Amino acid sequence: MRGIVTWFVNNSVPANLFMFFLIFGGFFISYPSIKAEFFPTPDPKAVTIVVPYPGASASEVEASISSKIEDRLEGVAGIKKIKSNSLEGRGVVSVRIFASADFDNTVEEIKTIIDGITTFPENSEEPIVKKLEIVEKVLDVVIYGDVDENTLLNVTKSINEEVKNLSEVSFTEIYGNRNREILIEISENSLEKYNLTFDEIALAINMGSIDLPGGVISS
């Protein structure tokens, strides 16, 4: 053995040629068995829970849907991470599962827990629990124009509905729009005139407000 090593040390050219053939020969022998993909499809262990709540705002969905699901799933064995996304009209909760956990059994346990939640709002629809599917974004559509924000949002929603109804499209989402707010401005002179305070006005507004989904008004 020592003689072979000594020979390679004293004869560098044959040693380099031998190494060259060893490396490239191994490459060409193993190349046909190497699996290669331009766009490899990952296989994440994750579950999505979707609860439609027609007409509800994002804050209503957060309070009555998403937070309840997170609380019930907290501490379940096999769950790595829980993330919720409360949108207008629906709540989406994503659950990541440990690679070492039994995926199918964990999914069944999640379904059982979700089906056991009886405190969802009456107007909400049945929860949908499904294994995560990789959705590849293929297109971003930017809607713009010299119009007010409300008109722009209505046009965007109309286009979104048309695209969503296409059989080849599995998912669409509107983003970049701002949540609507009602601004009430009261001058100090008006407060003095009617002998009122800001707290009294805020209390009157809260007492007269009913926090229920309003749906969509069309004309």
CATH number, domain containing residue 61: 3.30.70.1430
Helix (H) or strand (E) segment spanning residue 94: strand 90-97
pLDDT average, residue stretch 14-26: 74
Measured in whole angstroms, how far is the alpha carbon of residue 107 from the centre of its chain? Answer: 18
Asked if residue 54 is part of any domain, the answer here is yes
Looking at the structure of the chain, the number of domains it has is 1
> 218 — phi, psi (to 5°)?
-125, 150
pTM, to two decimals? 0.47
Alpha-carbon dihedral 95, 99, 102, 106, rounded to 10 degrees: -10
Asked if residue 29 is part of any domain, the answer here is no
Instruction: Name residue 95's amino acid.
Output: V
| 114-132 per-position pLDDT tens digit | 999 999 998 899 999 988 7
pLDDT average, residue stretch 5-32: 72
Asked if residue 167 is part of any domain, the answer here is no
Q: Is the pLDDT of residue 219 over 50?
A: no
Which of 37-46, 146-155, 178-187, 203-212 has the weakest average pLDDT?
Answer: 37-46
Residue of higher predicted confidence among 16 and 106 = 106
pLDDT for residue 16: 76
Asked if residue 164 is part of any domain, the answer here is no
List alpha helices for the chain, DSSP H.
Answer: 2-10, 12-30, 58-61, 67-73, 103-115, 149-164, 188-194, 198-208
pLDDT for residue 75: 84
Asked if residue 115 is part of any domain, the answer here is yes
CA distances from 158 to 128, 135, 152, 154, 174 (A): 25, 23, 10, 6, 11
pLDDT for residue 81: 92
Q: Is the pLDDT of residue 215 over 90?
A: no
Domain that holds residue 120: 46-131
pLDDT for residue 8: 64
Q: Is the pLDDT of residue 210 over 70?
A: no
Percent of the chain with pLDDT over 70: 81
